[in-house]
């Protein structure tokens, strides 16, 4: 979606994009569209019910308006043990897209229930819970449900989506800053997936605090020569002392086994709502969820850099170092 948005920016906004860049973006989009279409049958085979409920998300580009903004402040909420309920969250997302039901009744698009609004606006949550709260408001925007959201907002704020997005990304920024180790310019391997999810969701909305040079360089350092994302390549220099690598691998494998066991032991309905949210290994030890998030993150980085470099009304500096990294 960010690549589509970047190309649209070149043609419809005050961006003075070079012809060669526009041509490269068009080639990117052609390739991305081709690969996405080729992947759809495999996703459907994995879980037909989930695929059809979310086909409007899977089957089209997800481009949002880029509204540059700096949060400047960050709020770090205390870690809590409240876990995100994917079944409940998916139900709320389905109601927005018109593919859900309440009881036996199929609902119209843009349905927001009191229960869903309360769940998605519960304050001071962290981790994947808060990123999925943010995703809910992105769904509201993408599905054209702003009027329905205004009805639930206590202030009936005309810009309720941005208000909620700003609040959530302020909390998420606090987490991102705590996850990033400035001494080693890296993120713990077990938090990299979350770091990417936080970056892509807040980044596509234009919150540019998530586009620090160190963050861009670090994410790029995780990419394998094949292009995918798996175990962090930064662990490779530790080959002479393999114990940290073995420990990390054991930890990851235990986590994946627990997830597989959860799915195996769950009823079919519960399993279908969870499978596509889980991490899976692909060829070459690539991780599917992490690679998908990383692709979205790189697209967000690209759109940000283009907005900075080619805007006819420059509004913020960019260092050559981060640009060279993306090239």
> What's the pLDDT score for residue 78?
81
Task: Report strand pairing: 186-187 vs 180-181.
Answer: antiparallel
> What's the pLDDT score for residue 131?
96
> What's the pLDDT score for residue 53?
65
Q: Mind listing the pLDDT tens digit for each residue in 272-286?
A: 233 334 567 777 778
Rounded Cα gap, residues 149 and 10, in angstroms = 31
In sequence order, what are the residues at sequence separation of 6 or more whose Cβ sits closer than 8 angstroms to the Cβ of residue 233?
221, 222, 223, 224
Query: Would you say how long the chain is, in residues?
Result: 327
Between 254 and 171, residue with greater pLDDT? 171
> What's the pLDDT score for residue 322?
46
- Lowest average pLDDT, out of 57-61, 115-119, 152-156, 296-300, goes to 57-61
Residue among 225, 326, 248, 306 at smallest CA distance from 3: 306
Q: What is the pTM of this model?
A: 0.78
Q: What are the C-alpha distances in Å from 211 to residues 118, 161, 170, 243?
A: 31, 21, 14, 33
Residue among 207, 109, 95, 114 at smallest CA distance from 153: 114
Between 234 and 11, residue with greater pLDDT? 11
Answer whether residue 320 shows pLDDT above 70.
no
Average pLDDT over residues 49-66: 68
Domain boundaries, the chain: 2-326
> What's the pLDDT score for residue 269?
33
Answer whether residue 54 shows pLDDT above 80.
no
Answer whether residue 10 shows pLDDT above 70.
yes
Q: Mind listing the pLDDT tens digit for each residue in 124-166?
A: 999 999 999 999 999 999 999 999 999 999 888 889 999 999 9
């Amino acid at each position: 979606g960010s690549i589509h948005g970047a190309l649209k920016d070149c043609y419809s906004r005050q961006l003075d994009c070079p012809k060669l860049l526009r041509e490269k973006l068009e080639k990117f989009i052609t390739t991305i569209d081709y690969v996405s279409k080729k992947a759809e049958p495999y996703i459907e085979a994995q879980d037909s019910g989930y695929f059809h409920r979310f086909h409007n998300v899977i089957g089209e580009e997800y481009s949002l308006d880029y509204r540059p903004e700096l949060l400047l402040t960050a709020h770090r909420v205390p870690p809590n043990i409240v876990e995100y309920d994917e079944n409940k969250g998916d139900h709320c997302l389905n109601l927005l897209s018109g593919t859900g039901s309440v009881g036996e009744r199929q609902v119209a698009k843009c349905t927001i229930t009191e229960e869903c609004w309360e769940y998605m606006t519960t304050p001071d949550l962290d981790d994947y819970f808060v990123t999925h709260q943010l995703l809910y408001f992105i769904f509201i925007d993408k599905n054209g449900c702003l009027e329905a959201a205004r009805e639930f907002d206590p202030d009936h704020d005309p810009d309720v989506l941005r208000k909620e997005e700003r609040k959530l990304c302020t909390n998420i920024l606090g987490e991102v800053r705590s996850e990033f180790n400035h001494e080693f310019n890296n993120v713990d391997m077990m938090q990299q997936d979350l770091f990417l999810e936080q970056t892509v969701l807040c980044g596509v909305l234009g919150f540019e605090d998530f586009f620090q040079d160190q963050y861009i360089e670090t994410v790029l350092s995780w990419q394998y020569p094949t292009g995918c994302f798996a175990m962090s390549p930064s662990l490779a220099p530790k080959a002479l002392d393999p114990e940290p690598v073995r420990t990390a691998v054991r930890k990851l494998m235990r986590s994946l086994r627990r997830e597989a066991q959860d799915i195996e032991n769950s009823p079919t309905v519960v399993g279908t709502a969870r499978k596509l949210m889980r991490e899976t290994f692909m060829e070459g030890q690539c991780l599917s969820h992490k690679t998908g998030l990383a692709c979205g993150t790189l697209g967000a980085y690209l759109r940000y850099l283009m907005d900075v470099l080619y805007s006819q009304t420059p509004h913020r500096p960019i260092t050559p170092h981060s640009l060279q990294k993306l090239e």
